Amino acid sequence: MSPFIAELVGTMILIALGAGVSAGVALKGSFAESSGWMVITAGWGLGVGMAVYAVGDISGAHLNPAVTLALAFNGDFPWSQVPSYILAQMIGAMAGALLVYLQYLPHWKATPDPATKLGVFSTSPAIKHPVGNMLSEIIGTFIFVMVLLSMGANQFTEGVHPLIVGLLVVSIGLSLGGTTGYAINPARDLGPRLMHTLLPIAGKGSSNWRYAWVPFIGPLLGGSIGGLFYKNVFQGQSTPMLWVLLLVTVICLFFAHRSGRKTQESVSSKVTA
């Protein structure tokens, strides 16, 4: 198996098990219906661990564009392979979402709320606040990457390390995930969101593309900053790219602030009218 196929299959497993637990908890008629946040965080963590076990020896089990970028910025992964890894992760995420759709086929029609169906595939904020939502994704992914790199770059695929990675995802979900649903992985949100748009899901509503840039850009920034921070602080290899990325982050937060203001003004004008 090539690294490309391994990343595709690994990400497919991750999304099938992760979005699968979200579907089991959220959709009507499931035996796991309404079993709560603890089950969701545990399911996602176990899904990550199992996916890392499955393909770690072949591709390093990045399964996440933010991890791939972090390793590249840190010098542990060749930039020439970054595009193919990210493409494989996106395709795998879409394939995993398709499996979840098929697994819960009769439950979509039984679930009346369109937002609940979208929540199986992609994340959404508990409170709409573009700056706060962006910061949540940046911080969560930053911590995720920092711990991975501290465990030893690509060496976390051996022994019990995949389970530790899974526990890390559970920890982030419990401690930091309540704000945005903790995408911490651009492929995890964008791939399934695309499938939500494309699939003939009974009674589905909007795919909320207005919000989609937050769980895409936020983790990319958080992961990249995490990789460069580790390189600068832990390894003592100073690089100006860290400051460039911090500036880009400030610019993105500024645009998020403007986006939030425009949304508020639009809502206010409709209410006044």
- Which CATH homologous superfamily contains domain 3-268? Glycerol uptake facilitator protein. (1.20.1080.10)
Q: What is the pLDDT of residues 44-70, one digit of tens each?
A: 999 999 999 999 999 999 999 999 999
Q: Which two tokens stand for residue 27?
A: 């959709």
Give me the half-sphere count of Cα atoms (radius 13 Å) on the Cβ side of residue 225. Answer: 23
Q: What is the pLDDT of residues 83-141, one digit of tens each?
A: 999 999 999 999 999 999 999 999 999 999 999 999 999 999 999 999 999 999 999 99
Residue found under tokens 């690089």? 239
b/e for 4-39, b at 16 or more Cβ within 10 A? bebbbbbbbbbbbbbbbbbbbbbbeebebeeeeeee
Q: How much of the chain exceeds pLDDT 70, in percent?
A: 93
